[in-house]
Amino acid sequence: MTDIVIYHNPACGTSRNTLALIRNSGIEPHVIEYLKCPPTRALLAEMIERAGMRPRDLLREKGTPYADLGLGDEALSDDALLDAMMDHPVLINRPLVVTPLGVKLCRPSEAVLDILPDPQLGAFAKEDGEVVVDASGRRPA
C-alpha cells in the first residue's frame, strides 16, 4: 500500500481534480483539509524544502490577505512568509501532495502524475472536460 498525503481544499477544482487523479491510480490517500488542520510550521518548511521550493513559491494571492499583509514585499524573509502562512493557512497554495517519490504543488492538477508511484488505471478528464489521461492510462500526446 502506497502512503500518499494530499493537503486539500474541497472548494478548489484543482485540488478536487488532483485528488481524483490519485484515486484513479488505485490509491486512497490521506486527505488533510489544511484549512481545518494546517501543517505545523516545521512540517510546512520541510515540505517546501523537499519540493525544491521557497516559501514565496507556495504563497497563494487570490482570495487571501496576501495584499493586505504586504506579502508582495520581496524584502520579507522566508521566516516571515512561513509565519504569515501559519497565521493565515489560506495563504498556503494547494494542493500540496506528498508521495514516496517527492513533494509537489500540483498546479495544474496533472502535475501529480509526476510523483505518483502507480500508473493510472484508466481514462481521466478534469471537471472542465479536459482529458489528461487516455483509456490506456497514459497522458495524451
Active site residues per annotation: 12
**How many Å apart are CA 37 and CA 113, to the nearest integer?**
25
| Phi, psi torsion values for 50, nearest 5 degrees | -65, -30
Please choose, from the candidates 16, 43, 33, 36, the residue with its C-alpha nearest in 3D space to the C-alpha of residue 103.
Answer: 43
Q: Residue 15, class by beta-carbon neighbours within 10 Å (0-12 exposed, 13-18 middle, 19+ buried)?
A: buried
